[in-house]
Structure 1
Amino acid sequence: MSGVAESAVPQWFAELFAHRRWIRRVDPFPHVYARDVFVPEFYLRLTDELARVRRERPEAFGSVAVDYGAVGAQLAELRDGPLALFLSREWHDLIARIAGVATTGDVEGSVHHHPPGSPQGWPHNDLNPAWFKDPAPGLDEVGTVTPEVDLKTGARTPEVFARETVRAVAVLFYFGNPDWRPGDGGETALYAQLGANPVPALTIPPMDNSLLLFECTPRSWHGFIGGNTVARNCVVMWLHRPKEDVVRRWGGNSIAQWH
């Protein structure tokens, strides 16, 4: 991995990371995988915060999507503790630099909780549109989801201005899963191709303090494998790019519209 301990990164931020051994893989599509992402002290703060939020604010967790087994709590609503790291400009810039993608500074994300026995998800590439309120964030800020603009449709009142972007980089950080063991299910499946019954080319285990990130492209097919016998928790988040960049690179029809 490059970037964690570079001079441009604040010392407080660099000290959160356990090491720089993040692995780049090319199959079945380019992605980065890392184990032991954060130092134990900060990782413990993250898991304690997850437990606190689930205990004290169960109403923060709502349905993620129709026919999807997880419930989620928006990161934008969890900014009063260590989970705020994932909405920091430092984290945004690190992920964008590792992915090698020029982004808008806008971030969407939530904490997902899959209870035991959650159903299998469906393969998708995350190349979806996303609307954010104007103005665009500054160089030391991030834009987040706001109630004034519908993330998926851009619906808003006439006096509100918004920008259409497209998801550019997906990040899954697995935490709060101490009971998970190989064979317990709940992995993230990566697919080389789709078909009537697609078979994962690679599965990413939800091991504590591990991370998966990849650029969202027309071929970044992935999905929740389901069948988990223990709960699975993770942060799921996206960085974004201008829509015109996607149109220029892959064409407008490549954007996976919401249904």
Structure 2
Amino acid sequence: MTGVLESPAPALPGWFAELFAHRRWVRRALPFPHVYVRDVFAEGFYRRLAEEYERIRRDRVDEFFAVSERYSADQISLPDLQDGPLALFSSREWHDLITGVMGVQTTGDVEGAVHHHPPGSPTGWAHCDLAPAWFPGDPPGPDEIRLPSPTVNIHNGTREPDVTARETVRAIAIMYYLGNAEWSPGDGGETALFAHLNGQDAPPPDLLVPPLNNSMVMFECTPRTWHTFAGNNVADRNCVVMWLHRPKSDVVQRWGEHNIVQW
């Protein structure tokens, strides 16, 4: 079951709306509710994003670091990408567009990075992304966003005694693909979505989202939004991966604290 959304919203600033190629964003019901978009941005702006990422990958490769021991990607974080077109993903306009499309109330806290998987990367593990995240200071105002800070450990809130922080939980996951080679079926590197898990083992995916340049998939994080990197990519696979957040109390009320996945 699918439906077509009218996005971006017409209430957004004209300069921002002009960045997008069209307003036909597709809502899919299976294997869990998600939104899929082909040709997100107009060709000229996509080219600027891809060229900027190519420059960063070439000139700042020493700033990339491993995502985790369990995951084959390295990354450069959004807070380190604030002086070029990739800063769009840290803007309040982008935040408000995504929350409006998804219909999820969020806090204005934004976490994310550009992930790079080298060729032949292994399959990841299926997970739901309903995980905690700690941000510094007071909640951002209606025209602000808050990014992670080195003063607060985003995973567990560890900080110096004089530093304040708030615990949130991931609310919306977004994956925007860019800077990839021309992709064909069989090239691997997709994002796998699952309707069910069999204990600790992931079954064959119910849907594979291809890493097509200038495309995007996003979904509300719930206890059942199981997904992973499908691996076995024949070429580099690059993707902006980011999350918007909601208050922990909202998640506890809706699904119970036991469904929050700790790091």
- TM-score bracket, shorter-length normalisation: over 0.9
1:133-187 deviation digits (Å, cap 9, x = unpaired) = 0111111110001011000010000000100000000000001113322210010
1:87-120 deviation digits (Å, cap 9, x = unpaired) = 0000000001111100000000000000000011
Partner of 1:200: 205
1:133 matches 2:136:
yes
- Where structure 1 has 5 or more consecutive residues not aligned to the other structure, the ranges are none
- Cα offset, 1:66, TM superposition: 1.1
Q: Within 5 A, what are the aligned runs for 1:17-56?
A: 17-56=20-59
Give the distance between the partners of 1:179 and 1:17, measured in 2 at CA.
Answer: 21
Q: Within 5 A, what are the aligned runs for 1:79-98?
A: 79-98=82-101
- Cα offset, 1:212, TM superposition: 0.2
Given that residues 40 and 215 in structure 2 are in contact (C-alpha distance below 8 angstroms), is that contact kept between their aligned partners in structure 1? yes
Q: Secondary structure at the match of 1:248?
A: helix
Find 1:251's aligned residue among 249, 252, 256: 256
- Cα offset, 1:5, TM superposition: 4.4
Partner of 1:2: 6
Q: Secondary structure at the match of 1:235?
A: strand
Partner of 2:108: 105
Query: Which structure carries more strand by proportion?
Result: 2
Q: Alpha carbons of 1:197 and 1:142: their partners in 2 closer, same or farther (altered >3 Å)?
A: closer
- Cα offset, 1:216, TM superposition: 0.1
Q: Within 5 A, what are the aligned runs for 1:219-230?
A: 219-230=224-235
Q: Secondary structure at the match of 2:179?
A: coil
Give the distance between the partners of 2:228 and 2:154, measured in 1 at CA.
Answer: 21
- Where structure 2 has 5 or more consecutive residues not aligned to the other structure, the ranges are none
1:57 matches 2:60:
yes
1:198-226 deviation digits (Å, cap 9, x = unpaired) = 11000000000000000000000000011
Q: Secondary structure at the match of 1:217?
A: coil
| Percent identity (aligned) | 60
Letter in 2 for 1:247: V
Letter in 1 for 2:103: G
Runs of 4+ in structure 1 deviating by more than 3 angstroms, as ranges, are none
Letter in 2 for 1:191: F
Given that residues 179 and 213 in structure 2 are in contact (C-alpha distance below 8 angstroms), is that contact kept between their aligned partners in structure 1? yes
Q: Count residues with an aligned counterpart.
A: 257
Give the distance between the partners of 1:5 and 1:171, measured in 2 at CA.
Answer: 18
1:211-247 deviation digits (Å, cap 9, x = unpaired) = 0000000000000011111110010000000000000
Give the distance between the partners of 1:254 and 1:214, measured in 2 at CA.
Answer: 17
Q: TM-score, normalised by structure 2?
A: 0.96
Q: TM-score, normalised by structure 1?
A: 0.98
1:153 matches 2:138:
no
Q: Within 5 A, what are the aligned runs for 1:157-168?
A: 157-168=160-171
1:77 matches 2:80:
yes
Give the distance between the partners of 2:44 and 2:202, measured in 1 at CA.
Answer: 43
